[in-house]
């Protein structure tokens, strides 16, 4: 039975705040009709131009000729383990609850830890991660997005917190983990006594920096200056800057706030972000009053940002970069334009929200101080046109009627004001290192063509989000005009429409021609390029392996050749897990991969098997012969 404790973010938001019913049904029908005309046009790999023969693709087997994959695609699987192509192996590196401080206790499968043990251990439900290397040392920085309450409190009656320490354990399992790792005898392990190891939690002091810093909407009783705050939580995807810092992105920050008075009405601005009088079962307001939104209504305005962290200085204060906007941040893909301007692409992962771009006022300096690179710049939201052109709409004071600080705090309202394109839940953005183009995973959107977004904006099907009740998701790419990431215009097409050609042959739910019985998947989420320009795709979708999702198996990781459109399945995860987070060791002989929420509905014992508690973690994948990956 699902209770509110194990509803995921989407389901909970749906239950708590059903968006208003669609009012313009005619518009939906019109779009559905015209869609048949434009789908063929926007698909990058339409039937006529597809370079890989359908026969070879249908078998899901690597072509015999030389290719850029370096592995044979594998079949779907429902095994409670990691499945890889022939010639590859995996090992766990660090799991939820593993100690990362000297003297910290090992994970206890009976109690599942305490607040104190969790604060000195790897957090739960790891998501985005980056690798940093210096002077022969290797550091992983990993987001710990949230907790499965049924698992962390699985030792308690009804899987509910029995005492305040249980709630604090959950709180301390959130945030970011910085951990040094080393390869010894061919195996990766945590350097438990490294001085670099650090837990950044919802209680770590942080700066509120940038255009909104000091604004009245950021001031609270504890911080009348509106310039400093405590902590980060629900860190989903990530980013890595050319100057060696880590970006942790705050996504579903809203689900942690509640009001002692359940009749309390939150403001329309907080409602747009899903802040309500009840939380999602974490109970933080019981142990920390700032999460009571009736008492501290500005506290939620201090979350929903991109947080910059210096992994090499464990005493550094993380900085919330308000100029990059406030929304349910997925990741932050940092690219340098040809002139050195710093550009950051960012998705807002909620049905019918937007895709954003930040263009810094400053240029990157290879030898200089880049601490101000994310301090000020222009923010844009994307508009996709039917003729496969597009425009970045500036969120300026003139265009939105809001001040720049208000735009940074109520960014969703600003993007609605300029009428950007409502998207099918933008997850990760990744930019090709060998070509000036970027990709975004639009994971799914059952409300497309059904209901407006939380701001009441129309979400009829549109060229970039062409399928109503979008079950499977799509990957869209854009090419900035003039091969310049600072350009405010671009062309675009769809790299892949996920689908199920076995169940839905002949309809748009079959997906694009590069989707076949051998590689089908749903809900693309994590995206990352390797240095050869191959696109790695991670999924966070429906793992029922039944009905619309029959034949897809567990969540998985695939690799796409962005030149030919061919997609192969590289890895399948354990039961009820999502694959998220990817980082290559500099020697390209190991890729670190995140396994999140195995057994979220009670049906996994990953990775230890038997009757053990399922644990999220980072695994290392390599070739059995130690060879190069890709």
Residues that bind ligand FEO (CB under 6 A): 127, 145, 236, 251, 330, 349, 427
Least distance between ligand FEO and beta carbon 564 (Å): 28
Q: Is residue 475 packed enough to be buried (19+ CB in 10 Å), middle (13-18) or exposed (0-12)?
A: buried
Q: Which is nearer to ligand FEO, 375 or 523 (CB)?
A: 523
The token pair that represents 463 in the structure block: 């060229």
Instruction: State how beta strands 617-623 and 88-95 pair.
Output: antiparallel
Shortest distance, CB of residue 314 to ligand FEO, whole angstroms?
26
The interface partner of residue 251, options being Ca ion, ligand FEO, none and the CB cut-off 5 to 8 Å by kind, is ligand FEO
Distances, alpha carbon 133 to alpha carbons 169, 318, 544, in Å: 31, 20, 39
Q: What is the DSSP letter of 505?
A: T
Task: Name the H helices within 183-341.
Answer: 268-272, 284-287
Nearest distance, CB of residue 474 and ligand FEO, angstroms: 15
Q: Check: CB of residue 506 under 8 Å from CB of residue 523.
A: no
Nearer Cβ to ligand FEO (145/561): 145
Min dist CB 527 to ligand FEO, Å, is 12
How near is the Cβ of 267 to Ca ion at its closest, in Å? 27
Q: Which does 150 bind (CB under 5 to 8 A by kind): Ca ion, ligand FEO, none?
A: none
- In the complex with ligand FEO, the residue whose CB is nearer, 280 or 364, is 280
Instruction: Name the β-bridge partners of 482.
Output: none
By three-state DSSP, how is residue 445 classified?
strand
561 touches, from Ca ion, ligand FEO, none (C-beta below 5 to 8 Å by class): none
Residue closer to ligand FEO (CB basis): 426 or 513: 426
Least separation in angstroms between CB 420 and ligand FEO: 18
Q: Does 525 bind Ca ion (CB under 5 A)?
A: yes
Pairing verdict, β 319-321 and 205-209: parallel
- Specify the residue, 416 or 538, whose C-beta has the smaller distance to ligand FEO: 538
Distance CA 19, CA 389 (A): 30
Piece of 21-29, 198-206, 446-454, 571-579 that binds Ca ion (CB under 5 A): 571-579
Q: Which is nearer to ligand FEO, 288 or 348 (CB)?
A: 348
* Cβ nearer to ligand FEO, comparing 375 with 443: 443
Q: What is the dihedral of CA 453, 458, 463, 467, to 10 degrees?
A: 60
For Ca ion, which residue of 540, 566, 576, 600 counts as binding (CB under 5 A)?
A: 540
Give strand ranges (E) for 302-348. 306-309, 319-321, 329-336, 341-348
- Near Ca ion by CB under 5 A, which window of 379-387, 537-545, 585-593, 615-623? 537-545
| Token duo for residue 39 | 């789908």
Q: Show the tokens assigned to 519.
A: 């590689």
Closest CA to 225 of 248, 209, 238: 209
Sign of CA pseudo-dihedral 603, 609, 611, 615: negative
- Shortest spacing between CB 129 and ligand FEO, in angstroms: 13
Q: Report the partner that residue 299 touches, choosing among ligand FEO, Ca ion, none (CB closer than 5 to 8 A by kind).
A: none
Residue nearest to Ca ion (CB): 540
Cβ of residue 156: shortest distance to ligand FEO, in angstroms? 26
Number of C-beta neighbours around residue 39 at 10 A: 17
Contact string (CB under 5 A) for Ca ion, positions 400-419, x = contact: --------------------
80 binds, among Ca ion, ligand FEO, none (CB under 5 to 8 A by kind): none
* C-beta of residue 426 within 8 angstroms of C-beta of residue 355: yes
Residue span binding Ca ion (CB under 5 A) among the ranges 152-160, 353-361, 424-432, 455-463: 424-432
CB of 620: closest distance to ligand FEO in angstroms? 23
Within 167-226, the residues that bind Ca ion by CB under 5 A are: none
For the chain, the straight-line distance linking the first and the last C-alpha, in angstroms and rounded, comes to 43
Of 462 and 538, the one with the shorter C-beta distance to ligand FEO is 538
Q: Is the peptide bond before 607 cis (omega within 30 degrees of 0)?
A: yes
Strands 590-596 and 578-584: antiparallel
Nearer to Ca ion, 180 or 427 (CB): 427
Report the candidate in 249, 222, 390, 369 with the shortest Cα–Cα distance to residue 308. 249
Q: DSSP alpha helices (H): ranges in 360-510?
A: 397-400, 404-409, 411-417
DSSP-assigned states of every residue in 609-622: -TTPPP--EEEEEE
350 vs 566, beta carbon nearer Ca ion: 350
Cβ 35 to ligand FEO, closest distance in Å? 25
Q: Least Å distance between CB 565 and ligand FEO? A: 25
- Binding-site ranges for Ca ion (CB under 5 A): 427, 525, 540, 578
């Amino acid at each position: 039975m699902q209770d509110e404790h194990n509803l995921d973010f989407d389901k909970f938001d749906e239950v708590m705040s059903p968006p208003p019913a669609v009012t313009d049904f005619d518009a939906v029908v019109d779009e559905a009709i015209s869609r048949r005309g434009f789908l063929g046009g926007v698909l990058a790999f339409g039937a006529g131009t597809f370079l890989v023969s359908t026969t070879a693709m249908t078998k899901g087997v690597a072509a015999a000729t030389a290719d850029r994959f370096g592995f044979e695609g594998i079949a779907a699987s429902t095994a409670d383990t990691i499945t890889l192509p022939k010639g590859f192996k995996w090992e766990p590196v660090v799991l939820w609850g593993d100690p990362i401080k000297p003297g910290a206790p090992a994970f206890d499968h009976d109690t599942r830890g305490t607040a104190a043990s969790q604060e000195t251990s790897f957090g739960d439900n790891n998501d985005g991660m980056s690798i940093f290397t210096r002077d022969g040392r290797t550091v992983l920085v990993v987001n710990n997005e949230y907790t499965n309450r049924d698992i962390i409190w699985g030792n308690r009656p009804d899987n509910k917190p029995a005492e305040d320490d249980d709630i604090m354990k959950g709180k301390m399992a959130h945030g970011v983990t910085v951990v040094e790792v080393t390869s010894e005898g061919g195996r990766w392990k945590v350097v438990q006594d490294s001085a670099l190891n650090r837990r950044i939690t919802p209680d770590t002091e942080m700066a509120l920096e940038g255009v909104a810093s000091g604004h009245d909407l950021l001031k609270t009783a504890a911080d009348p200056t509106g310039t400093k705050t405590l902590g980060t939580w629900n860190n989903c995807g990530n980013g890595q800057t050319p100057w060696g810092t880590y970006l942790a992105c705050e996504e579903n920050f809203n689900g942690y706030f509640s009001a002692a008075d359940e009749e309390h009405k939150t403001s329309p601005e907080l409602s747009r972000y899903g802040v309500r009088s009840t939380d999602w079962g974490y109970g933080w307001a019981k142990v920390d009053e700032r999460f009571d939104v009736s008492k501290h209504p500005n506290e939620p305005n201090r979350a929903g940002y991109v947080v910059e962290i210096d992994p090499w200085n464990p005493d550094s204060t993380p900085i919330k970069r308000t100029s990059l906007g406030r929304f349910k941040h997925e990741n932050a893909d940092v690219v340098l334009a040809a002139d050195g301007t710093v550009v950051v692409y960012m998705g807002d992962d909620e049905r019918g929200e937007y895709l954003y771009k930040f263009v810094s006022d400053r240029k990157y300096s290879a030898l200089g101080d880049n601490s101000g690179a994310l301090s000020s710049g222009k923010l844009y939201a994307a508009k996709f046109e039917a003729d496969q052109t597009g425009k970045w709409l500036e969120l300026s004071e003139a265009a939105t009627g809001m001040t720049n600080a208000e735009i940074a705090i109520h960014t969703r309202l600003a993007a609605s004001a300029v009428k950007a394109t409502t998207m099918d839940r933008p997850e990760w953005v990744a930019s090709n290192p060998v070509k000036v183009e970027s990709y975004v995973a639009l994971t799914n959107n059952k409300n497309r063509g059904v209901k407006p977004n939380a701001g009441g904006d129309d979400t009829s099907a549109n060229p970039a989000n062409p399928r109503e009740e979008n079950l499977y998701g799509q990957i869209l790419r854009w090419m900035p005009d003039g091969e310049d990431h600072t350009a405010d215009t671009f062309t675009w097409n769809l790299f892949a429409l996920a689908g199920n050609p076995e169940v839905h042959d002949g309809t748009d739910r079959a997906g694009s021609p590069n989707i076949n019985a051998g590689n089908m998947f749903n809900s693309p989420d994590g995206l990352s390029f390797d240095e050869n320009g191959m696109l790695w795709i991670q999924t966070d979708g429906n793992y029922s392996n039944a009905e619309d999702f029959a034949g897809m198996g567990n969540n998985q990781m695939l690799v796409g050749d962005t030149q030919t459109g061919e997609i192969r399945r590289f890895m399948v995860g354990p039961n009820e897990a999502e694959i998220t987070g990817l980082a290559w060791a500099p020697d390209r002989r190991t890729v670190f991969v995140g396994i999140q929420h195995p057994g979220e509905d009670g049906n996994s014992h990953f990775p230890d098997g038997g009757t053990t508690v399922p644990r999220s973690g980072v695994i290392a994948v390599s070739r059995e012969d130690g060879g190069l990956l890709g």
